[in-house]
Structure formats: C-alpha cells, structure tokens
Chains A and B, each alone.
Chain A
Amino acid sequence: MALRSQHVHDGGVVERRLRPVYDWLDNGYNKKALQEAEKVLKKSPSLQAARALKALALYRLGRAQEAGAVLDALVEEKPSDDTTLQAMTMSFRESQQLHKVCTIYENAVKIDTTNEELHSHLFMSYVRVGDFRSQQRAAMAIYKFAPKNPYYFWAVMSIVLQAKETEDTTKRNILLTLAQRMIDNFISENRMEAEQEARLYIMILELQEKWEDIIKFIESPLYGQLIPGSISQACIPYLKKLGRWKKVNILCKELLYDNLDRWDYYMPYFDSVFHLMKENSNEENIDDTAEKCHEFICQLVESMSSGRTLRGPYLARLELWKRLSVEGDPTALLGSALALCVQYLRVFASKPCAVPDLKVYLAMIPQEEREANCRDFLTCLGFDENSEPETMDDIQRHISCLTAWRLTAPRPGTTDALQLAATLRRHYLRSLEKNMIKYSTTEFCSADSYAILAAHHYFYAATEQKSSKPILEALCLLELVLLYSPANYHVKLLLVQLYHLLGNALAADSIYRRLELKHIQLVSLGWLHTARADAACVPTRALQLLADLRAFHTHHAKDSIEHMTYAYKFGTFEKVVELRAWAARLEACALCAVSARRRDLLALLAAPAPPAPPAPLHAAHTDNRDLNIIVNWEPPELQDPDLRSRTFDQDMAYLRLTDALLSSVTLCTELAENKPIEEKMQHYEQLRTCVDTFSEAMEKCTEKYCVYEKITISGPFPSRIIGFVSSPVPYRELYSITLRMIGELSMNNTDKVHELCDQVVAIILISSKLIVQEIRYGAEDNGWSMRDRLESLSNYLQSIGVLTYLLGVCYEMITPTNTKKSKKKANRSVDQMQTIKLIDNINVTLQQAIASLEELMDLWPDYDFSVDLEEELTRMNINPTAPSPVENKLKLGLDKIIEDIQNILKRKTAYLKGLILNTNT
C-alpha cells in the first residue's frame, strides 16, 4: 500500500527530500529507504517525518525494538503534521499496535484543534480498535466545527454499533431512540441527502422492529429521491413482518406480471397465498386458494411471448406442488409431480441448468414412483441410453435426460454401474470421433458431461468393489476430456478428488495447480487439496500449501480492519456491520486454525526447529468450506445432508487434539530453557494440564470417532481424526508418556524420569511393530488401499517428527550448554549418568523404529495399472493429441512420495545419532 501523504503542508521542501524514502518503501527496498532516511536526518536531525519513516523502514527490516524506540520518542513530542502521523500510523498498523494510533491523533487534535483531516484520522483510529463510544465523540467533535453530513452520520452509526453490542436492553433502546431522533431531526430539516443515509435510517428502524415506520418512510417522496429501484419490492419484507398478506399478494402479482422470471418475487407471493388460505377472505383480486394461485401461474405461462420461454412460471408450478404436498396431495389440481418434472425437462432440456433446477423437486416424487418411472425422464424427448445425437443441442438434451434419469433411478449395482459408465464413455468418444467436440479455452463442451457422468458411475462401482480399476478408467477418461476442454473445472475438480482417492497427492497436485486457486479460494476450497496434502505424506508440498493459506490469513487479518474505514469514508453504513462480521468470520476460520497447527507439526518432521506456541483457539470457529462445488449425481435418498456438520465436528475435534499436542510440545521447549526450577514451575504445571487435556480428548475421540465413514466423491473424505484414533498404534500413550517424561526431567524428578524412560522405550517398540501391521492390512488392491496406508503412515511420521524433536529437547536439558558440543563427561552424578543412559536408550530405540520403517518403505507396494480405454480408442480409431498421463503421474508421484519419506528418515537418523552422549551406547 502506498503511504505517501496526499497533503503536505510544509511547502514541498520536506516532501522533495523525503520522496526517495517513500519510493524505496513503496517498492519494498527497506534497507535503501533506511539509508536515505538517515541521509535526510544528517541534514535535519530533528525532522519528525524522516524519523517516522526511518522507524517504518526499521520495523520492516525486522528491527522492531529500534523502531519502537524511535516511535516512542516521537509520540512524546506530540507531532501534529500529517506526513509524520501517517508514517507513524503505518508502523503502528503493521506492528498491530493500533491503540497507539489513537494516542498520536488525540495529541495532535489538541494542538491543531480545528483540523478536519486530523480529526477524521482520529475517528478512523477508533474504528480500527472498535471503540464505538470514542468514535461517536470524535465524530460529533468534527461536526461541531465542520457541519457536514458524513460526520453527523458517522456519529449516528457509532451509536448504532454501541446499541448492537450491548446486552442491556434498556441501554440498547435508549441508544436506538437517540440514533433515530438524530436522523428524524435531520429529515425534518430537509438535510438528508444520500442513499446510504436513508439506508442507515431503515437499519435503525429495523433494529427497533418499527416495520410500520419503515413502510411509511419507503413510501415517502424522500426515499424515492434517494434510493433507486421499486418501492413495492422494498416494502415487501416489512409487509410480511406485519402479516399484511393481502397487500403482499397484490404487490407480488403486479411485480410478477412484469418480471416473470424473478424468484425473489415468487417466494413472498407463495408465502402470502399460503397464509391467506387459512384466512378464507374470499376476495376477488386476492389469490387465497390453491386454485387461484394455479390459475395465476397458468396466466403467466400463457403471457410469455412465443419467442422466449422463461423458466420462472414452470418452476413456480413445481414450487406450488411442493408447498401443497406438505399438507395434502396436490395431484388432483396439478397432476402428478412426476409429470410436472418430466414436462419441465421436456421444455428446458437444452439448457445445462435444467437438471440442477429440477434437482430439489425430484425429491418430492415418492421414491417408489420415482424409481418405477425413472425412464420417463430418459425417454421424454425420444432418446434412450444408446441414442446417438447428431447436433450439439441434441447432445445437451440427451445429457439432461440422462442425468435426470440417473438422479431418479435406484443406485445401480456394480455390473450395471460399470456397464453404464462404459456406455457413457462411448458417447463421449463418439462425440470426439464425430468432431462434435470443439477445443475451447473458455467454454465447456456439452459432451464433457457424458464423461463426467461416466466418472461418477466408475466411482460407484469402485466403492462397491473396493477396487482401484474403475477409478483408473475414470482418471484416464477425464484426463482425455481435459485435453480438449481445458476450461472445464468440473473435470479438474473430479480429477483432484480421484487422484486423492488413490492416495496420490502429487498427481492431484498437477491438476490442482491448473485450477489456479488464490486468495479467498484457498479458504473456501482448501478442503480439496491443502487440508489433505499432509495426510497424504507429501510433507514438502504440504508445507508450501499450508504456508500459502497462512500467508492469506495473516494478510487478511491486517487488511480487514482497514476495509472498515473505507465503509465510513464512503458512508456505506450497512457495509460497516457486514465487513465487521466478515472480518471476524475469517479470523475464526477453522481450516486456518487447523492448518496453522498442522504446519507447525509438519515442520518438526522437516527439521527439528522449535515451533512457536499456537495462537489461542476461538470460542467458536467458523466453517468456510464451499461444499457445493462438486456436482453430486446421487438420487435423493442417498444424499448426505449431515455431511457438512459431521465433518466439521470431526475437524474441530481434530483441531483440539492437535492444539493440545502442539501446545505441549512448545511448553517442553520453554522448559528446556536454562532457568532455576522455581521459575519453570508454572510451565511444568501447564504442561501437565495440557498433556491431560490431550490424553482425555484422545480417549473421548476414540470412543466417538472410531467409526466407518462412507466416502463421497463430491465432498471431503473422512476426517483425519478417524484414522488417527482408530489406529492400533497407541498414539495417546506414545505422546503423553514422552511429554510427561520431559516435564519430570525439567523438574529433576529423577526417579520418575527413569521410570517413564523405560515406558517410552517399551511403547516405541510396540508402536513400531503395530504400524507395520496397520500398513500391511488390506493388501488386496494396492491402489485402493494406498490412501489409507499413506494416512496411517503420516500419523506415524508425525510421531517420529515430534519424538525426535522432543529427544533433542531432552539432550538440551541434560547437557549444560558449555559442554554440549565436546560431549565431555563433565562432573556428573550417578543419577545423571543413569538419565543419560536412559535417554540414549530411547534414542537408539527410536533409530531402530526408523530403521524398521525404512525397510517397510523399501517394500512399499506399487499401483497395479491396467485400463481398457486404450483398446476402445484404437477400436474407434481415435488418436488423442497426447498420450494418457495417468500411469506416469501415479508412478512418478508415488516414487517421489517414497523418496521424500526415505530422505526424511535418513535425516532423522543422522540427527538422532548426533545427539547420543554416551559413547559406549
């Protein structure tokens, strides 16, 4: 962000001299900026602006302490020129000391009492810290000497925010009454002049539930002058609140006559009809019966000009059926739901949105009826599963019919699913052969959907058979589609899912990169790849992905507060509330919290560097996943409506476990500091609590999450917590005993240490045996079990990372700093010698465990690759522009995964060897 002040009051001399400093800072050359600032300061050592910029450069160079000293001195001098204050603000913002910005501007306005700009900066400084009372005071202070509308409304908004924040109802009412009166006065003096001022007024009335007053205001001439759009539409929500259904009914009908396709008008219309049905008012122009409502919809259908058929009225009929079916059977009035759905498909099958539109309504057809008549959807336009449409439009129609059929048919058995997948694949290949697939970098080809639907059916068969072969077919087909339709993100998303299903995060990564996700997408789609990479044993890539997410999140935290100041600047008061909520939501993002902890634990595997203590958990973390992005073609009864809440709950449980583990590890680091025992007492107690928390949580989670979870293609795979707590490896004991041992070691409780050391050795030995069993389990189909195996391995690798690091901590504790390197046997007591021997023993045992894991890695099974797509291509005489990359991606990906792990294990062994103290061991 450019920080150059726009108004410099010192005649330009200073500005000229400081220009190079700004330039360097703006372009990120902080060292140069520092040198340049020093140069200016040589000539005029007291120049405040130069010192402020010097502080900023120092801060950005990581020299926070020096920067702090310069800034403290400046604060004391109470500067009041904008250039200096802006530069100081920048430093304080970057170092998250926002309250100090308030202080400097408080001082400044005392000196320059009527400077509008300084006053408004003071106001914004309160906005950044969320001090609404001070905001109000500051806004009124400016308004007194500069009576402009925005300042007045800043004050009103600050009052509203105080009201929203307080839990005291009386106080809230007083504040809202005050806010309303302030605007009432303004209106009576004819001084309201902006759209957002009017909207703020409505917001205040809404908070007081004064619906009647809102309608009065909307119907006033003032509203019409300020706010564009239809008055009727604006009134509807409040008429609904007041239960004036007749009025709603009339207004919606008027609106709908002119806007046949506006769903947001149909909804309140239906609400009104269903309320009026209960009232039996029997007025002529009011639709208060199902019949009248149907009649109205039919009129709308008929009123459409022949040129363009809109979906609105047709969908409205389905909506009417759905609402009527809650309390009865609408068949007599509307015909069967099945017939209506088929009719809809018949009219709109040429649009890709036809089936997505229908999806909710298909669920209202009773299952039996739906399944018995599912072929009606397929055949309603004269197609069947073997039809070979000749035009692009017909391909789209055929696909709509096929998908509607699949959504209504019972889920096929393995043989049927495979057969259908093969048919659908043939349709795609035929389209390719007949040149009906045009390469396009921006549009999707209609025929792509054949392949997508085929892939879903391959997936069904694979999960039934627990076999990787159908997944391989799907992968090869989808990679082929991507050659001709590189823009089709549905294909890319499925490929990422399917590669992950076969445990190959690096192959998935090749497609993930092509999605080019950035910024907020890293959060909303993080579940797709970032959150999985570390369970998939690709630590190097996982660390990058997690770092990208973290960079976004940190950046956001600093930026989001700034955005709130824009909303005041532009007077968009509604957005003030929205932006605050948005900032808080992202701040508490669950994925970001889990990822930060995963990153730190994973970093321990990469190198034994001490992790920083994790940021405190939020009271309520937020779920920001976009789980609707992958289309789901399962029939209604197989939908999993709890998927979101269930997986979120599991992720939260995993977050708490990981948090307790990481916190314990960081406490161990602090206990290793060379301090007297009394000073360590507090950390020791904290560690004990933390380990208990971890251990108890593990126990509870084992009870709760030791369950089998069905895998879905359109959402997240089963949460990591399931594999972690179901593992035969006793992770709970492995971690908690090791952590306890370190706690006792820090307190010099020798007996306990010795006892725990023996336990640690025993449990490492057991774990080492059990992991081999866990990984060898389920070896029937290597491709299918790859993902589970790698996930088991990743849990075990995490324990190796943590234990190796903790052993390093132990050695630090038992070796006085000055003799660490020489490994000399200093004057040690018998107890100490024994401790060293025991720790060395753990070390050796861990090395053995690593060695046995290395053996396992050498024998790691490969994918069995065999597909029949190639034959089909040869048979149909199709020569794709490039060979299928699937086999190679899987093989190279797996080789890389294994090589990476082998390298890590080698490094761990070398590190552990270097720690050994007792040369005889």
Chain B
Amino acid sequence: MTTLRPFTCEDMLRFNNVNLDPLTETYGLSFYTQYLAHWPEYFQVVESPSGEIMGYIMGKAEGHGENWHGHVTALTVSPDYRRLGLAATLMNLLEEVSEKKKAYLVDLFVRVSNKVAINMYKNLGYIVYRTVLEYYSGDPDEDAYDMRKACSRDINKQSVIPLSHPVRTEDVD
C-alpha cells in the first residue's frame, strides 16, 4: 500500500524512521540537495497511507559512451516496512528512468556481508559483476560487490559479463 512520489527537501525532516537503521547513512544536507538539484527523477520516496516514509531510492545517471548508466546511490526501506516488495518497486522505477535516458545498464554497490540485499538484487535480475576490495571504510574495511543489470539498449548484454578478478577501490570510477 504505497504512494510513490518524488523526494522533496522536507522529507529530510521525516525520514528518521528509515535512516535510524544502522546500515543507512545520513549524509550532509548538500549531498541530498545536490541529488535533488541534479537528478530529481532518480530520487523517489514510498509513503504509507498514514503518511509515514517507508523507504526511498537515490540514484543518478553518469558515464560516457557505452558506460552511460544508471547508478543506485542509496536504497533503503524502514525495518517496519520490509518484506512488502517496496525495494523492488523502487528499483523498477529507477530502471524505468534509466531506460528513458537510454542507459546501457544499471549498477550498484552492496556490502558483501549484506546477504539479504544481495539476494534481493539477484531476484531482480542483477549479477555480481565484480568485487571491489575495501570499498566500505570501517573497522575493518569491507569489500563491495558491484552488481549490474543490462538495459534494453545493451542488446548483446556486453555490460554484464562478470570480471574474473577483484578490483581495488582506486580503480573504480
């Protein structure tokens, strides 16, 4: 049961029930406003009938030539609204926008330990394209999977042939 709408500045005052989740980072204001100003169509929120924010997605389009792609910067759902398929709804939306922008693929990074999320992305058709070593800083640093799904423009699905070896964070653009 969902209202799907663009994220607005004022949502930042109400997204605590989502952001207090330990794996959801609360960024500085300018991070959000920059995304809002640059890629508003990629920044969407799902709201419950009672007006509570259930989750949101932040993304962008970037890259040149055949690397022109949609990127998922953050996808998060409040612990109280999980297992309702909201993440899938938001991912579909991001993929739709990417199709409209004629992207070749959509990609995202996820902690290798975040099994729940990895499985969900796999169910949505994403594959592990490569491992990025020590992408998440912390104690200790953690590796990330770079997961990808091809868009319709990538007819031969060139963008989703997995790399056989991991890469270092510096080598990721």
User: Which A residues contact B (CB, under 8 angstroms)?
Assistant: 195, 228, 261-264, 308, 310-312, 315, 319, 351-353, 356-357, 359-360, 441-444, 486-487, 489, 492, 515-521, 523-525, 556, 559-560, 562-563, 566-567, 569-570, 572, 574-575, 578-579, 581-582, 585, 624, 626, 628-629
Q: Is the CB of B79 within 8 A of A563?
A: no
The answer to whether B157 has its CB under 8 Å from any CB of chain A is no
16 pairs, A vs B, C-beta closer than 8 Å: A262-B3, A264-B3, A310-B1, A311-B1, A357-B49, A360-B50, A443-B79, A444-B79, A518-B26, A521-B26, A560-B33, A563-B34, A572-B36, A572-B37, A578-B36, A629-B20
User: Please, which residues of chain A bring their CB within 8 A of the CB of B48?
Assistant: 263, 353, 356-357
User: Please, which residues of chain A bring their CB within 8 A of the CB of B22?
Assistant: 441-442, 486-487, 516
User: Which B residues, 8 to 50, have Cβ-Cβ distances below 8 Å to chain A?
Assistant: 8-10, 12-14, 16-17, 19-23, 26-30, 33-34, 36-41, 47-50
The answer to whether B158 has its CB under 8 Å from any CB of chain A is no
Q: Which 9 A-B pairs have the closest CB atoms?
A: A582-B9, A489-B20, A566-B37, A563-B33, A311-B1, A264-B3, A567-B37, A228-B100, A570-B38
Q: Is the CB of B13 within 8 A of A579?
A: no
Query: Given the interface contacts A263-B3, A442-B23, A566-B38, does A519 sit within 8 Å of B28 by beta carbon?
Result: yes
User: Please, which residues of chain A bring their CB within 8 A of the CB of B85?
Assistant: 308
Q: Is the CB of B81 within 8 A of A559?
A: no
Query: Given the interface contacts A441-B22, A519-B29, does A264 sit within 8 Å of B5 by beta carbon?
Result: yes
Contact with A along B101-144 (1 / 0, CB 8 A): 00000000000001010000000000000000000000000000
The answer to whether B62 has its CB under 8 Å from any CB of chain A is no
User: Please, which residues of chain B bring their CB within 8 A of the CB of A519?
Assistant: 26-29
The answer to whether B172 has its CB under 8 Å from any CB of chain A is no
CA of A569 to CA of B17, assembled, Å = 32
User: Please, which residues of chain A bring their CB within 8 A of the CB of B40?
Assistant: 572, 574-575
Shortest distance between the CB of B74 and any CB in chain A (Å): 14
CA of A575 to CA of B35, assembled, Å = 11
Query: Given the interface contacts A519-B29, A520-B26, A626-B13, does A264 sit within 8 Å of B81 by beta carbon?
Result: no
Contact of A524 among B13, B23, B49 (CB under 8 A): B13
CA of A486 to CA of B20, assembled, Å = 12
Q: Is the CB of B50 within 8 A of A520?
A: no
User: Please, which residues of chain B bring their CB within 8 A of the CB of A356?
Assistant: 48, 50, 52, 80
CA of A310 to CA of B9, assembled, Å = 30
CA of A519 to CA of B83, assembled, Å = 29
Query: Given the interface contacts A441-B22, A523-B13, does A263 sit within 8 Å of B37 by beta carbon?
Result: no
The answer to whether B152 has its CB under 8 Å from any CB of chain A is no
Shortest distance between the CB of A267 and any CB in chain B (Å): 8
User: Please, which residues of chain B bring their CB within 8 A of the CB of A311?
Assistant: 1, 84
The answer to whether B167 has its CB under 8 Å from any CB of chain A is no
The answer to whether B2 has its CB under 8 Å from any CB of chain A is yes
User: Please, which residues of chain B bring their CB within 8 A of the CB of A517?
Assistant: 26
Shortest distance between the CB of A128 and any CB in chain B (Å): 15
Shortest distance between the CB of B136 and any CB in chain A (Å): 14
Q: Is the CB of B52 within 8 A of A628?
A: yes
Residue of B nearest to A229 (CB): B96
User: Please, which residues of chain A bring their CB within 8 A of the CB of B39?
Assistant: 570
Q: Is the CB of B9 within 8 A of A578?
A: yes
Q: Is the CB of B16 within 8 A of A629?
A: yes
User: Please, which residues of chain A bring their CB within 8 A of the CB of B19?
Assistant: 521
Q: Is the CB of B84 within 8 A of A353?
A: yes
Q: Is the CB of A629 within 8 A of B34?
A: no
Q: Is the CB of B3 within 8 A of A442?
A: no
CA of A310 to CA of B84, assembled, Å = 9
User: Please, which residues of chain A bring their CB within 8 A of the CB of B52?
Assistant: 356, 628
User: Please, which residues of chain B bring their CB within 8 A of the CB of A570?
Assistant: 37-39
User: Please, which residues of chain A bring their CB within 8 A of the CB of B26?
Assistant: 517-521
Residue of A nearest to B5 (CB): A264
Residue of A nearest to B14 (CB): A626
Query: Given the interface contacts A563-B33, A570-B38, does A315 sit within 8 Å of B100 by beta carbon?
Result: no
Contact of A228 among B5, B41, B79, B82 (CB under 8 A): B41
Shortest distance between the CB of B51 and any CB in chain A (Å): 8
User: Please, which residues of chain A bring their CB within 8 A of the CB of B29?
Assistant: 519-520, 556, 559-560, 563
The answer to whether B75 has its CB under 8 Å from any CB of chain A is no
CA of A517 to CA of B79, assembled, Å = 17
Max chain B Cβ within 10 angstroms of own Cβ: one of A261, A525, A581: A261
Q: Is the CB of B38 within 8 A of A261?
A: no
User: Please, which residues of chain B bring their CB within 8 A of the CB of A579?
Assistant: 9, 33, 36-37
User: Please, which residues of chain A bring their CB within 8 A of the CB of B20?
Assistant: 489, 492, 515, 629
Shortest distance between the CB of A517 and any CB in chain B (Å): 8
Q: Is the CB of B1 within 8 A of A357?
A: yes
Query: Given the interface contacts A261-B2, A264-B5, A351-B84, does A357 sit within 8 Å of B50 by beta carbon?
Result: yes
Query: Given the interface contacts A357-B1, A519-B27, A572-B38, does A352 sit within 8 Å of B81 by beta carbon?
Result: yes
Q: Is the CB of B84 within 8 A of A563?
A: no
Q: Is the CB of A566 within 8 A of B21?
A: no
User: Please, which residues of chain A bring their CB within 8 A of the CB of B84?
Assistant: 311, 351, 353
Shortest distance between the CB of A482 and any CB in chain B (Å): 12
Given contacts A262-B4, A566-B33, A578-B9, 14 further A-B contacts (CB under 8 A): A228-B97, A262-B2, A263-B1, A263-B47, A264-B2, A264-B4, A264-B5, A315-B49, A351-B83, A442-B114, A444-B79, A520-B12, A524-B13, A524-B16
Shortest distance between the CB of B40 and any CB in chain A (Å): 5
Residue of A nearest to B32 (CB): A520
Contact of A263 among B2, B9, B28 (CB under 8 A): B2
Max chain A Cβ within 10 angstroms of own Cβ: one of B27, B34, B50: B50
Shortest distance between the CB of A361 and any CB in chain B (Å): 9
CA of A517 to CA of B4, assembled, Å = 27
Query: Given the interface contacts A228-B41, A357-B48, A582-B10, does A442 sit within 8 Å of B80 by beta carbon?
Result: no
User: Please, which residues of chain A bring their CB within 8 A of the CB of B28?
Assistant: 519
Shortest distance between the CB of B108 and any CB in chain A (Å): 17
User: Please, which residues of chain B bring their CB within 8 A of the CB of A566?
Assistant: 33-34, 37-38
CA of A517 to CA of B50, assembled, Å = 25
Q: Is the CB of A352 within 8 A of B80?
A: yes
Q: Is the CB of A628 within 8 A of B34?
A: no
Shortest distance between the CB of B98 and any CB in chain A (Å): 10
Q: Is the CB of B37 within 8 A of A575?
A: yes
User: Please, which residues of chain B bring their CB within 8 A of the CB of A486?
Assistant: 22
Query: Given the interface contacts A520-B29, A579-B37, does A353 sit within 8 Å of B2 by beta carbon?
Result: no
CA of A521 to CA of B26, assembled, Å = 8
User: Which B residues, 58 to 78, have Cβ-Cβ distances below 8 Å to chain A?
Assistant: none
Residue of B nearest to A518 (CB): B26
Residue of B nearest to A622 (CB): B13
CA of A112 to CA of B19, assembled, Å = 49
Max chain A Cβ within 10 angstroms of own Cβ: one of B19, B21, B33, B47: B33
CA of A95 to CA of B26, assembled, Å = 28
Shortest distance between the CB of B58 and any CB in chain A (Å): 14
User: Please, which residues of chain B bring their CB within 8 A of the CB of A516?
Assistant: 22
Q: Is the CB of A442 within 8 A of B21?
A: yes
User: Please, which residues of chain B bring their CB within 8 A of the CB of A312?
Assistant: 1
User: Please, which residues of chain B bring their CB within 8 A of the CB of A560?
Assistant: 29, 33
Residue of B nearest to A310 (CB): B1
Residue of B nearest to A314 (CB): B1
User: Please, which residues of chain A bring their CB within 8 A of the CB of B34?
Assistant: 563, 566
Q: Is the CB of A559 within 8 A of B21?
A: no
User: Please, which residues of chain A bring their CB within 8 A of the CB of B49?
Assistant: 263, 315, 319, 357, 360
User: Please, which residues of chain A bring their CB within 8 A of the CB of B114?
Assistant: 442
CA of A883 to CA of B96, assembled, Å = 52
CA of A510 to CA of B1, assembled, Å = 37
Q: Is the CB of B3 within 8 A of A628?
A: no
User: Please, which residues of chain B bring their CB within 8 A of the CB of A521?
Assistant: 16, 19, 26
Residue of A nearest to B9 (CB): A582
Residue of B nearest to A629 (CB): B16
User: Please, which residues of chain B bring their CB within 8 A of the CB of A444?
Assistant: 79-80
Residue of A nearest to B1 (CB): A311
CA of A581 to CA of B36, assembled, Å = 14
Residue of B nearest to A228 (CB): B100
Shortest distance between the CB of B132 and any CB in chain A (Å): 20
